Each structure stands twice: as structure tokens, then as C-alpha cells.
Amino acid sequence: MKSGKGKISKKKSGNRGYSSLWVYIPSKISKDPSFPFRDKEEVNVELRGGSIIIKKSYDLHEITERFGIEDATVARIVEDKALLNKGLPFLYFKDQVYSYQDVNNISNRYANGLLKLLEKLKLKTPKIAVLFPNCPEILFTWFAIAKIGAMFVSINMSFRLSIIEYILKNSDTEIIIIDYEFYKFFKEYRDNYKNISTIIIRNVPKTHIFNDDEIDFNEIISEDDSNPNIDIRSHSPLEISYTSGTTGNPKGVFYWNFYTLSGITVGREFEELGPGLGPNKFYCPLPLAQALARYLIVIPAMYYNKSIVLTEKFDVNTFWDDIDRYKPDCFCYYSAYLSELVNQPPSEKERKHSIKYAFGPGALKTIWDTIERRFGIQIIEFWTLIEGVGIAMNILGSKGGKSGSVGKPAKGYEIKIVDSKGNELPPGRDNIGEICSRAKLPVQFEYYNLEDDTSMKIGPDRWVFTGDFGYKDHEGYIYFLGRKDDMIERNNEIFFAMDVERVANSHPLVVESAVFEVIDKTTQKKELKICVVQKKKGALSYEQLYEFMKEKLAYFMVPRYIEFRTEIPKNPNQFIQRFLLKEEWLDEDIVANTYDAVKNRKK
């Protein structure tokens, strides 16, 4: 315990000169890593006998005790579960099986090796970026960096090179651990990263000639598999996690160790399915480079003593073979994975399988209903943002008439729908507004080196305006309709891009679509454009699709422009990157290859 002399002084504040008391805390306490408060943070003050007690608004220690852990840290969870579960399988990857003890031991070998390297480089808590494909090593590295108190910066290898370069610079990365698969491209731009002092290369070929700033990944793996003796607390920094860049450059979100509580909360929600009825083995093709997979799948699975089957990526051609081999009872999805599955021809394995649940975000109602009817799999939909300010889960689903809903707020979170002035809206499909969320848990977000404006804002009483829009029904279930950027106004009516896409995607010859606004170069007015991927090239004409949409949509919702494409640009979370499609409209070749319903109907 640290102590020091403070001071209480009376000061005048406000225009009317009201007096208030201010407490001075000595710097040796306020600068200590375990100091739990931040500048301008609201706190609870208690007068108890002759003492003043200052507590956080939501006491973290009380919450962690409720979950049965001393500290909400990645390191503590990994180490405690290794002691408890020992040889119980935790991770399956191809032909490899790693027990809880294996995961902790390997992570410790990485951690102890990194500690020696940091001592040599005279770095204490550097930012360490990791560029790996989906493999167990990305998980071991994450655990290792968490155990030594450094900052983890995970980068998805599916990002464009320009985005990866942006993240490396924006995060102030000092060390990069990179797979040779990507190093081949990285070295061409090495001179652009002045802040990176050391490059650790995995899977390096024997012919590679190392530069002075390069190290073989195998060289940092220590023989010492004991837990590092580093003091990590709930409020210790953990990582900078980047958004997936749906609307522009990714934004870095600062995570503390107590963010693990969000994952533990998700695991608690599964218990609502009933005793012994929740998932036990998760099939995870989601990229571990994304925080969503690590915090909402890995952490819940580990905390609740479950296991994970990890794959390099989602492959619809091997999916059912994998399910037959590993026998998971829960499949983790992005919406695009579900679409690929339903667009496959029927097979015998799709009805004789082990999967009970599919867990993920973004399932369209039509796809949702098809998955449950055709494959006999219950959809468990959720909504969240990488900023970690809110989680909703739909455990009830179609069984309770709630298909299409992202669910109710998970325990520890509050969600409301507000109008443009911040007033809460009543339930009902006609009361569409912005989704606002607030964490009862001590989860609050902070961007790192924010360079671009963001639609997410913090309002009064810690309510966060998310930039997502939807409505709430009379039972409190939330229905997500789209991002603020996806909102379209026509004839004094407001609708979302997803409303049009849902209709277009219902055509039997359409795989997927993307709707967005463009500027007509002649009139300078906003018009709607839709990009469409067909099941078979040439199976559908522009005129047929236009007439289909005209028949099923209000006239002001029918896109004027139609473009057939082989694929639609998406971020690593498989969400459509409409901003890239809008940028393409400046390309004359794109315009020339786009069907114009107005001009063609006049011919």
C-alpha cells in the first residue's frame, strides 16, 4: 500500500463563484500504474466516520468478485484456467490439439522470450503489432503480450496495404511480429516505418538473410514456461484494437484489461438457454486479428471451460467436412458466411450434423429463417461495436417470434433509442432513431491518435451515441436497420440501404447487393445505385432486376443505376464498404458500365 500527504483546499468555480472543495492527491500515488482513476472521471464519495472514501462509480473489484476472479485480466484468466482444466482440450487447429495447460505454457515461453528482448532493447511497455494469418500463434502471442504488460496491436492481413501502413503509423508501433507471407510486401515499405525498431519474422525461409533489425520468431521462444512475474491489473493497458474501416480509415480503440468482462458477460448470456444447453465447442472461422473473435468467442469459451475449433478462414466447400470431423455444437458467423451456405446446393451432411447454434452479427431475416428451416440450426444474433460500449444478444430468436432482432441488452449494459435531440423514443417500428448504449460495467472507450471525425459521440450520463440506427419493440428487443451513413431520404421518407438490399437479395438469381447514393453528373442530384452479384453471370438482365425491384419497392426506393459485379468490397468483418463504391463513381469506366434506368427506358 502506498501513502502520501494530500491536501484539501476551497476554490471558487462557475460564473456565480460557488465554493467547492478540491482534493489534492500526491503525484507518487496518482502516477502509480495501479491508480484506478482518470482525469475528470465521475466518482462516488462517501463520508464514513472520520474518513472520506473515494470509489469508482461502478466498483470493479465488486464486479470481478461476482465473477469469481481477483483481477479482470487476460493473464489471470489464462493462468487460472490452466490450473483448473490442465489437460482439457481448449484449441483445435487442423491436426493439432492444445490443452488449457499447453496454451498457458506456450504463451509463457513467448512472454519470457519477449521480456528478454525488451530488456535488450531497453523498452518497458512497447506497442507490438502482430501480422499473422488465422493460426494458434496469434492467440499465443496475444496472451504473451498481455502477460508482459506491453500493448498488443493486431492487424488483419486482409486489410489493403495502405490501411496496414496507416495502422502501423497511427499506433506508434515499435516492434512488429510478422509472418513471412506478409513480410515480402512489408520490406518494400520498410523505410516508411521509422518508429519500428525490431522486426520479428515467423516462418522465415532458410535462405533469408537477416538485417540488423530483424529476428527469427523461433529465437524469441524461451525454454522458460513459467508464468511471468509481472504485476498486471484490471486497469492495466492491454491493446489498441482497430475498427474494420467500414466508412474510411480504421480507428484505434484503447483497451484496458477489464474489457475481458465483456466476454465473460457474453458467456453468462448463453446460460439463459438453460442448464447444460449452451454451446460447448465453438467452430470459429472468424479472424482472430479482430477483437470481436478474441473477446466475444475466445474469452467466453476459456472462462466457461469450453473449447474452440479454429480454421484459417471460412470455406463453404470444406465447412460440412470440418463439422463432421470436429463435431462442434456452435458455429460462429459473419452474415456473408450464412449467405454462402444457403446458396450452396443441398447435401446430406447439412441435415446430419452436430451444430445446434450459430452465433454472430448481421444475419438478415430471410437468411436467418432459411438457416433455421433448412439446417435446423438456431441463430443467436448479437450486436456490438469494437468500442465495447454495448452488447445486445438474442437468445430467444425465432422461437419467441424475434427473428431479425439483435436482441436485448446483455447484463451490464443499457440500450435506448433516441431522436435527433437525444430524447428517448417509445417502442414501435415507426419510432426509428439512433441506438444509444451505456455500460454498467466500467467499460468506457477512448480512441488512440484519432485523426478522422467519428459518428460515435459521448453524451450526458455516459450515454454513447453509436451512429447505428434502429428501433425497439414493446418487449425491449432491438432491431438494427443500418449506420447513419446508410440512411437515405427521399420524398420526406427515410429508409436504409439494407431495406433495398433485402428486396434485391430476395431475387432467386441474386447472391448479394450494395445500395448507396451517387451524384448524377448532369443534374447534380442524388440518385440511388445498386451493385449486384449474380449467382451466374448473365442469368439476370438489368431490365429484369429493375422491374423486380419496381414491383416490390416504393417508387422512391428503386435504384436508378444498376451495376453487375463479381464481388462487393467488404472489410474483414464482412461488412460492405460503401465508401469505396462511392469513390468508384468518379471513374468514367465504372459509369459507362452502369445501367441507367432513366436513359434506357427512354430509348
pLDDT digits (tens, 9 = 90+) for 41-58: 667 777 777 778 776 555
Q: Is residue 281 part of a domain?
A: no
Q: Is 33 helix (H, G, I), strand (E, B) or coil?
A: coil
pLDDT at 572 over 80: no
Give the pLDDT score at 385.
86
**Rounded mean pLDDT of 230-258?**
86
Secondary structure of residue 309 in the 3-state scheme? strand
Highest mean pLDDT among 324-328, 525-529, 577-581: 324-328
Model confidence at 228: pLDDT above 90: yes
Q: Return the sign of the alpha-carbon dihedral for residues 210, 211, 215, 217.
A: negative
Number of structural domains the chain divides into:
4
Contact between 21 and 404 under an 8 Å Cβ cutoff? The reply is no
The pLDDT-based confidence of 216 (bands split at 50, 70, 90) is very high
Q: Residue 458: what pLDDT? A: 78
pTM here is 0.82
- C-alpha to C-alpha distance for 392 and 563, rounded to whole angstroms: 35
Rounded-to-integer distance, Cα 488 and Cα 529, Å: 12
Q: Of 30, 62, 94, which marks where a domain is finished?
A: 62
pLDDT at 232: 92
Least confident piece of the model among 191-195, 354-358, 414-418: 191-195
Same domain, 250 and 359: no
Q: What's at 201, amino acid-wise?
A: I
What is the CATH classification number for the domain harbouring 219? 3.40.50.12780
Q: What is the CATH number of the domain that holds 579?
A: 3.30.300.30
Q: Are residues 499 and 399 in the same domain?
A: no
So what's the pLDDT on residue 262?
Answer: 86
Percent of the chain with pLDDT over 90: 57
Residues 81 and 170 placed together within one structural domain of the fold: yes
In this prediction, residue 118 carries a pLDDT of 96
d(CA 135, CA 140): 9
Q: Residue 296: inside a domain, yes or no?
A: no
pLDDT on residue 454:
67
Query: Worst-scoring range by mean pLDDT, 71-80, 82-91, 439-448, 565-574?
Result: 439-448
Helix (H, G, I), strand (E, B) or coil at 404: coil
Q: Is residue 288 part of a domain?
A: no
**466 or 105, which is more confident?**
105
Kindly report the CA angle at 154 between 148 and 157, in degrees rounded to 5? 145
Distance CA 257, CA 64 (A): 12
pLDDT of the residue at 123: 94
The pLDDT of residue 163: 87
Q: Which long-range contacts (CB under 8 A, 24 or more apart) does 453-459 make?
A: 454/251, 455/247, 455/483, 455/484, 455/485, 456/385, 456/387, 456/389, 459/422
DSSP string, 251-272: -EEEEEGGGHHHHHHHHHHHGG
Q: Is 428 left (phi over 0), alpha (psi -120 to 50) or beta?
A: left
The overall longest dimension of the chain from CA atoms, in Å, is: 89
